[in-house]
Structure 1
């Protein structure tokens, strides 16, 4: 994805901020624990915080959280749902915090939108020595037969390569920060996955997939056709045709440490 496409996709979520807040899953607690286990202190920046899905998990863990989000509609949802959290307008490429002011920088389903050539040194700047950068992604577990079928039917706009465990590992393996001098030196990246799930109905799963960036930027007629195809698939499967079910997922984590 080139710079223009990344900007278009990353700026699409504000149009669906309320739906994003309602339908997107939270993150496995074990994943957040692992992301933070090497942090030298409790000060955590949730970067690209969206509507606060990861922010809420970090607050529950007892972290001292600051949230930074560029989209005004997403930021408004975050402030509404988590009024006690300090929430600032800002971008990964221009973080509105002082040098060495946080012990960890976490990003929930957001790091792939960052321009790391610029964001890398900025993240290193705000991290204390020994601080941790971690990206968390919720991916569907396509080792489960019906989930693999769903991924195939949905197409890459709804469930892309990064949205399955194998694809996620491949796409994030090189996503550690560039070593561009003393200010942006990070160690070797580590990857881990933690079991997770989300209770859904067919309708709410369709609503969830409709909040994916690829779907939000799709022409309306094409988008409706994809969602209809997903509905038909879910109606055809015994696991998903009647009432609530659990969507099998993993919260996958990429972690690096500032040297």
Structure 2
């Protein structure tokens, strides 16, 4: 199964277990935009959409996967939610002030998506990709990443790897700015295993391999003082790449 098409099969689990985005990261993006009309592109089940609504943005969601879109519509029934993708955005020209993509921009074909995003943005509009990563500066988190393996916590899943993966810029707008914001997700051992089970690399594993990997993670969490008993906060960062469309 293609990694980018793996999420629909686990849309319910994705909606339940995936984290939201740091509010300060969203403010940093919105403060650079000329208005509050926002497109959540590759919106999934609406994790980013919900955060934007909480900050007073007027949000349109666009998502290609029907199962993910169904979860978004059920959870956020008042949000306009359209079928579409970054390479063919179902919106008029110059119709939004910001385009945000939460843990999604790396799936875009930017040679096609870049012109489409430019088309729907107003002059001076903002494009931002946001990625939630684990904070492996914390010792037990770094050990979790080692135990889980790169199929579970891999490229873009730690700050250093994310900076390497984005290279100079994945934004068609220059100059691009990088922002990194502290974040966290309240988890138990069981719910963190469930969260990691929604990663693309895990979803495409054969059943036996998936069970073995998640079992290894569960064993690590049970034997680690910070995660063995009850709730804990998984230290995270929301990493943002932001660029503005130049006025014509």
The TM-score with structure 1 as length reference comes to 0.93
Moved over 6 A (4+): none
User: Any unmatched runs of 5+ in structure 2?
Assistant: none
Q: How far off its partner does 1:169 sit?
A: 1.3
Alignment of 1:133 onto 2:127: yes
Q: Secondary structure at the match of 1:163?
A: coil
Residues 1:112 and 2:106 aligned together: yes
Work out whether residues 169 and 191 of structure 1, in 8 Å CA contact, stay in contact via their aligned partners in 2.
Answer: no
Q: Let me know the Cα RMSD of the aligned residues.
A: 1.0
Equivalent runs, 1:158-237 vs 2, <5 Å: 158-178=152-172, 186-237=173-224
Q: Distance in 1 between matches of 2:57 and 2:28?
A: 13
Deviations 1:2-33 (A, max 9, x none): xxx8xx11110000000000000011100000
CA displacement 1:93-120 (0-9 Å, x = unmatched): 0000011110000000100110111101
Counterpart Cα distance in 1 of 2:4 and 2:103: 11
* Correspondence 1:155 to 2:149: yes
Aligned length: 246
1:76: which partner in 2? 70
Report if the CA contact (8 A) 2:171-2:242 is conserved: no
Determine whether 1:18 maps to 2:12: yes
1:242 and 2:236 matched: no
Contact 2:171–2:241, Cα closer than 8 Å, also in 1: no
CA distance in 2, matches of 1:167, 1:129: 32
Q: Normalising to structure 2: TM-score of the pair?
A: 0.97
| Structure 1 residue 177: Cα displacement | 3.5
